[in-house]
Amino acid sequence: MSGKVWLVGAGPGDPGLITVMGLDCLKRADAVVYDRLVNPLLLKEAAAHCVLIDVGKRADHHPIPQDRINAILIEQANMGREVVRLKGGDPFVFGRGGEEAEALVRAGVTCEVVPGITSAIGGLARAGIPVTHRDFASSFHVITGHLRDGKDPHNWRVLAQLDGTLIILMGMSRLADICQQLILHGRDADTPAAVVMNASHPEQRTVLATLGTLAQESARAGMAAPSLIVIGDVAALTLLQSL
Task: Show the site string, 34-73: x = touches ligand SAH by CB under 6 A, - = not.
Answer: ---x------------------------------------
Phi and psi torsions of 82, nearest 5°: -85, 115
Q: Which residues touch 155 (CB under 8 Å, ≥6 apart)?
A: none
Do 32 and 46 contact (CB within 8 A), yes or no?
yes
Task: Show the site string, 154-173: x = touches ligand SAH by CB under 6 A, - = not.
Answer: ---------------xx---
Question: In the complex, what is the shortest distance from the CB of residue 142 to ligand SAH, in angstroms, rounded to a whole number?
Answer: 9
The whole-angstrom separation of Cα 218 and Cα 196 is 10
DSSP bridge pairs for 169: 144
The whole-angstrom separation of Cα 147 and Cα 168 is 12
The window from 15-23, 117-125, 212-220, 233-241 that contacts ligand SAH (CB under 6 A) reads 117-125
- Told to check if 225 binds ligand SAH by CB under 6 A, we report yes
| CB nearer ligand SAH, residue 1 or residue 59 | 59
35 is catalytic: yes
Do 111 and 5 contact (CB within 8 A), yes or no?
yes
Question: In the complex, what is the shortest distance from the CB of residue 114 to ligand SAH, in angstroms, rounded to a whole number?
Answer: 13
- Told to check if 123 binds ligand SAH by CB under 6 A, we report yes
Candidates 59, 53, 58; CA nearest to 71 is 53
Residues at the contact surface with ligand SAH, assessed by CB under 6 A: 12-13, 37, 87-90, 93-95, 118-120, 123, 169-170, 196, 198-200, 225-228
